[in-house]
Amino acid sequence: MVGNMKKPRNQKKLILKLAGVAIGVAVLLSGGLWVAATTMSYKEIADKASVNNYRDLLLKDGPQDAPIDAKTGNVYLREAGLYLPAPDPSIQLVYSYLPEAGVGDVFSVTNRHVLNRAEKGFYNARTIDELFQYVPKWQACMQGITLSYQKQDIGDDSYLDGNSTVQSTIRLSNGKDLYVYLDKACPDLQSTVTALQKLQVY
């Protein structure tokens, strides 16, 4: 009788032990998964922070908006002494004056709308690698169109690399020639190049 009573009690102890072990394993596993999930979120947060920092650095010193005359709508490239008579609203000029280029007066001109589209990828990037995939196109569109009062050489050892092509030469009213070059990696600027053919001296 005593022997028969021990058996169920031992079975109960065994069942309780197994249940305890199962609960312990479940707690450890769920804890491990929580730690892994938390670590992953922290890593994603860190990646995103890095992406944001790099993006902010890239976009920090961009070209400036070309001033617009409120009455006439004319757009001015002051350092160049040029203006564009009231262009279509799709042509929103931004530019950089590059006296340090060492090749005479050089102006880098682009279209804000085109540049904004090129920058869009920066805000979708989740990692540094993804961010840098968008850099070549953005850089090409930011430098975009080069205006120069001197004819520029094109090539690896020149101010303009092999991606640039001569678009036109504009004879200005002061008798000077203005050379227009476009970076082939940003064909979206072709309509802006066309608009710039109307540049005038002031």
pTM for this predicted structure: 0.70
Give the chain as a DSSP string.
Answer: -HHHHHHHHHHHHHHHHHHHHHHHHHHHHHHHHHHHHHHHHHHHHHHHHHHHHHHHHHHHT-PEEPPB-TTT--EEEGGGTEEE-S--TT--EEEEE-GGGSSSSEEEEEEHHHHHHHHHHHHH--SHHHHHHSHHHHHHHHH-EEEESS---BSTTSSB-TTEEEEEEEE-TTS-EEEEEEETT-GGGHHHHHHHTT-EE-
The total number of residues written for the chain in this structure:
202
Instruction: Going residue by residue through the chain, which has 202 residues, state the pLDDT in tens, using 9 for 90 and above.
Output: 444 444 455 555 545 555 554 554 454 445 554 444 445 455 565 566 688 887 888 787 778 899 999 999 999 998 889 999 999 999 999 998 876 555 567 889 999 999 999 998 888 888 888 888 988 999 899 989 999 988 888 876 677 877 888 899 999 999 999 999 999 999 999 999 999 999 999 9
**pLDDT at position 76:** 96
**pLDDT at position 154:** 83
**pLDDT at position 41:** 58
**pLDDT at position 47:** 63
Q: Is 183 helix (H, G, I), strand (E, B) or coil?
A: strand
Return phi, psi of residue 30, to 5°: -65, -35
Tokens of 193: 């190049």
CA angle, corner 144, sides to 104 and 80, nearest 5? 40
Distance CA 75, CA 91 (A): 10
Strand partners, 89: none
